[in-house]
Structure 1
Amino acid sequence: MTTTKKIFSIATTLFAGLFTVALPLVTTTTLTACGKDNTAGTDEQQNSITAALDSALAEWLINDTLIATEPHDPQIPREGYIISTIRNPDINVKNGALYNVVREHFKSLTCETETNWFVYSVNAGDSLIRKYLVLPDSLDADDFKSDCNAEGGAFGRDTTSKTAGQHTHSCDLESSKHLNESRQYVDPTWKKYVELIVGICQE
């Protein structure tokens, strides 16, 4: 897809207000499981897509634990913090491509279409855990708001977005109330919203 670099940039810079880091160049590969010829091998192609997605989904669903970034030492320039990023290969499905981005403190699953991107992401910082859910205009965020409230978070909606066909919601949690002794945050809604994003891409 021609918008891959733009979408990946947007997904990873949703948290620019919290962390300014130099990200390494991420190389991506695509699992090409579907072709343009709908008259031959349709069943085989669909089976290949299903197998690739099932395998990827099993891996994505276990990525519910994040390790919060340490408080920033003002004596060390932020450029000195090296953070490794893994973007897993794209899975092409009916309405777009699915991919997972994994860092210790940041995880996301994105459905990228020709014109939009729909994302669930979680970022764990030393003072704030921030979740984003980017949905099609046809879906509401009532469940996300309820889940945010259940964790004692502050729910918000981005009213400044100018991208037609999608809207962004956020949930902010105080890290001090949600991190364990190992500075880990286990997201209780990771599975739910990963499956939602996968469903959006498959509809």
Structure 2
Amino acid sequence: MDQKPRQFHSFETAVDALLNTLGPVIRVAAPLGLGKPNQLINLLYNRVKDLPDRRLEIYTALSLDIPSPQSDLERRFLSPFLDRHFGPDYPVFEYLKDRRHGELPGNVRIHEFYFQAGQALHADSAQQDYVSLNYTHVASYLVECNIEVVLQLVACRQTDQGPRYSLSCNPDLTLDVIDQYRKAGKKNPAAGSGPPRTAFSGDGCRSRSRLL
């Protein structure tokens, strides 16, 4: 990918750029738990689903899903918590919906090293593509897998020195992967998505020219 940072103002143009830049096998990684750009990942996943000549491999962990209350008691108990915790417009991962129903397309694989409790029960593809990793080995493993893009949720703040970007949530492995790529002499794999409500954390802040 180009070393000079590029900015896109829609998920569609960002995904177009990824598809036009990357090869037939697209290998992306995303942070554990929160920190994933759900909307960007969903759009990339849905686009590749309709492209049988392309393959998508997603390396991540703890893809959070919203519990689905089954009974009236469960619904009355969970609904207030779900509204506060996830909000009314949390974008659920499309690959989780398909995997849950055994409909994950043959040209997509999801490799996770940590699951939400009970999520992989009765999900053959999730168990078959599970990766058993110690947390300290994840960054080097991703370098060995030749990950092309790390998709990370970011926050932006305008300053006198120009825009500053914060990885905001679960940035530890993203920074480790970038460091490992630099040591290996490979191109910087970082890419960020910045919804306006994303929290800005000063400790995770790096300048655009340094990180993205």
Structure 1 length-normalised TM: 0.26
Structure 2 length-normalised TM: 0.25
